[in-house]
Amino acid sequence: MKKRLYELAHCRAGDKGNTSLLSLIALRDEDYALLRNAVTAARVKAHLAHVVRGEVVRHEVPNLCALQFVCEGALGGGVTTSLALDAHGKSLSYALLEMEIEVD
Amino acid sequence: MARVAGKGVPLIRIGSGAGFAGDRLEPAVVLAERGDIRYLGLECLAERTIALAQLRRLKDPEEGYDPMLLRRMELLLPMIKRRGVRVVSNMGAANPVAAAEAVLGVARRHGIALKVAAVTGDDVLQMLRPEDPILETGGRVGDYRWLVSANAYLGADALLPAIASGADVILSGRVADPSLFLAPVVHELGWDLADVGRMAAGTVMGHLLECAGQVTGGYFADPGVKDVPDFAHLGFPWAEIGADGRFVLGKPERTGGRIDLMTVREQLLYEVTDPRAYVTPDVVADFTTVRIAQAAPDRVAVSGASGRARPATLKVSIGYHAGYVGEGEIGYAGPNALARARLAGETLRERLAGEFRELRIDLIGCDSLHGKAYRMAAEPYEVRLRVAGRATLREKAELIGEEVEALWTNGPGGGGGARKYVREQVGVVSTLVERERVRPALTIRETRGEKALV
């Protein structure tokens, strides 16, 4: 069965220069393992391919039941010089939550 | 006012009254009035804010501080004097000394005795060398022809003399955001700057506070999933920290918002590039050892921060003139709205192609924020076309809005609500500077509170 991440996690987007930081946090602590297995850096890079031009690095933060995705080249050249409407990429958290993963 | 808990351990309570330059005014007043705080931090400098402030200072030497400084101080000064609260803020921006003078003007008008400290020394523009590396691009400082500003991120150590001076209001330029909150704690609790565990604890506290409402339910609420009570009256947070570095986050009674594991987890990771190495001028903090627990409703206890010694270099934020951005918008609604908006976009691309190498065309309501729609949705009833491009000259940037507006009579049927904008663009990149080369300085200004004769 497929589930949207929106049903399993909450997310906040932050920015540093041209890098978007996406914090994916399990809504229920017991789902952290599921997220860790299913939401890989490669899958996030593919899901956000039309936004993220560079690499995606994932940090595991088990004490917060969270995964931190560092998405390089995601902000149209950088917050301060981007032509994008959402130059900070503040809305990208909800783009990540659109991802679907397979659950038992 | 220091409370005493347990075996005579003082607790310092510090509030966060602004998380960005344009933040709401009222919550800081509520914190000062009934938050039972001793310090109020106001974090008002984003990446390019100081460069924009420097542009204002170049036009007027008495300018260059935060545009909302005086509005905030009009509201806060009477309250902080009554409650014995001291303000620490980076609202000095590109001109902390002028900011201090301006705040004294407010104090004189109110007949308030006030001591203001200005912390300078973050401006390192004259120190930059063309060969200094740009961290983001792999290029050099010399690649940028029109530098506007260069400011080193100062740490808590730079603020300590100002806090020790007893000033009611401390105004700095560029200071690392968490350091604004760490410095008063270091002063009050007599911490050693080399004590990495405590520096990490105070940095975690500062990081959780620095965006104000973002830890109490702001940038968070999602109806039905993450509901926030009494959202309109969102309260701003305080932290109460003890000698061992453990602290509790809370907010004033009778304010809206929520503080719980969800809001704290989101904010702890906000803008963090490496959870094991959160680098500030004070410490390299490890957030993966932090423990958080709900201590009471709207009270979260935080402990377990760890860290490594502070870096030998300071990060420098460099602002450069990046030309002008022209923008135009126009809306379409009703039958075939999406196709008419698309036709308008394609037409503009052709009409502007000769003048602009890069043109951004968005359909607001379809793809403007995420670049595409992740789910198939019914065609939107209305859609707004947005076009943006960059130019070296203002006049050229204006062409974009002019062409969008001309869609009224030269575009698809039923285009309405055209708007056009041009703004000067300041880009920001970073480099590093050796810590020893940066010399923070302190300026004190005082008024005894006589009413000015106006």
Tell me what pLDDT residue B451 has. 65
- Looking at every residue in chain A, the average pLDDT score rounds to 95
Tell me what pLDDT residue B375 has. 87
Which residue from B425, B316, B393, B397 is spatially nearest to A77, judged by alpha carbons? Answer: B425
pLDDT more than 90, % of chain B? 92
State yes or no: pLDDT of A12 exceeds 80: yes
B268/A59 touch (CB, cutoff 8 Å), yes or no: no
Distance from CA of B422 to the nearest CA of A (A): 12
Q: What is the pLDDT of residues B249-276, one digit of tens each?
A: 999 999 999 999 999 999 999 999 999 9
State yes or no: pLDDT of B4 exceeds 70: no
- What is the pTM (predicted TM-score) of this model? 0.95
Q: What is the pLDDT of residues A81-102, one digit of tens each?
A: 889 999 999 999 999 999 999 9
Tell me the β-bridge partners of A9: A26
A28 near B CB under 8 A: no
Which residue from B244, B305, B246 is spatially nearest to B278, judged by alpha carbons? Answer: B305
Tell me what pLDDT residue B358 has. 85
Q: What is the pLDDT of residues B423-436, one digit of tens each?
A: 999 999 999 999 99
Which residue pairs from A28-33 have beta carbons closer than 8 angstroms and sit at least 24 positions apart in sequence? Answer: A29/A65, A31/A65, A32/A62, A32/A65, A32/A66
State yes or no: pLDDT of B390 exceeds 90: yes
B225/A25 touch (CB, cutoff 8 Å), yes or no: no
The closest CB to that of A61, out of B219, B275, B428, belongs to B275
> Average pLDDT in the B3-12 region?
66
- Looking at every residue in chain B, the average pLDDT score rounds to 95
Contacts of B289 in chain A (CB under 8 A): 63
State yes or no: pLDDT of B450 exceeds 90: no
Tell me what pLDDT residue B47 has. 81
Mutate to test the interface with A, among B214, B269, B376 (most CBs of A within 10 A): B269
The closest CB to that of A80, out of B47, B222, B290, belongs to B47
> Average pLDDT in the B278-304 region?
98
Tell me what pLDDT residue B354 has. 92
Mutate to test the interface with B, among A47, A56, A81 (most CBs of B within 10 A): A81
State yes or no: pLDDT of B2 exceeds 60: no
Distance from CA of A27 to the nearest CA of B (A): 8
Which residue from B118, B57, B50 is spatially nearest to B430, judged by alpha carbons? Answer: B50
Distance from CA of A13 to the nearest CA of B (A): 7
Size of interface A-B (CB pairs under 8 A): 116
Tell me what pLDDT residue B54 has. 93
**ipTM of predicted complex:** 0.97
Contacts of B50 in chain A (CB under 8 A): none
Tell me what pLDDT residue B386 has. 98
Q: Whole-angstrom Cα distance, residue B134 to residue B147?
A: 13
Distance from CA of B211 to the nearest CA of A (A): 12
Q: What is the pLDDT of residues B65-117, one digit of tens each?
A: 999 999 999 999 999 999 999 999 999 999 999 999 999 999 999 999 999 99
Q: What is the pLDDT of residues B351-372, one digit of tens each?
A: 999 999 889 999 999 999 998 9
Contacts of A18 in chain B (CB under 8 A): 136
Which residue from B427, B426, B411, B425 is spatially nearest to B329, judged by alpha carbons? Answer: B411
Q: What is the pLDDT of residues B294-311, one digit of tens each?
A: 999 999 999 999 999 999
Q: Which helix (H) or strand (E) holds B321?
A: strand B313-333
Distance from CA of A104 to the nearest CA of B (A): 23
B265/A85 touch (CB, cutoff 8 Å), yes or no: no
A64/B292 touch (CB, cutoff 8 Å), yes or no: yes
State yes or no: pLDDT of B1 exceeds 80: no
Q: Whole-angstrom Cα distance, residue A79 to residue B326?
A: 16
Residue entry with tokens 């869609």? B407
Contacts of B325 in chain A (CB under 8 A): 83
Q: What is the pLDDT of residues A50-85, one digit of tens each?
A: 999 999 999 999 999 999 999 999 998 877 788 999
A93 near B CB under 8 A: no
> Average pLDDT in the A31-44 region?
98
State yes or no: pLDDT of B7 exceeds 80: no
Tell me what pLDDT residue B378 has. 82
Tell me what pLDDT residue B452 has. 57
A80/B425 touch (CB, cutoff 8 Å), yes or no: yes
- Enumerate the H helices of B238-336 as residue ranges: 261-268
Tell me what pLDDT residue B3 has. 52
Q: What is the pLDDT of residues B397-422, one digit of tens each?
A: 999 999 999 999 999 999 999 999 99
By C-alpha distance, the chain B residue nearest A24 is: B266
Taking a C-beta distance cutoff of 8 angstroms, is the pair B43, B215 a contact? no
Distance from CA of A85 to the nearest CA of B (A): 7
A53 near B CB under 8 A: no
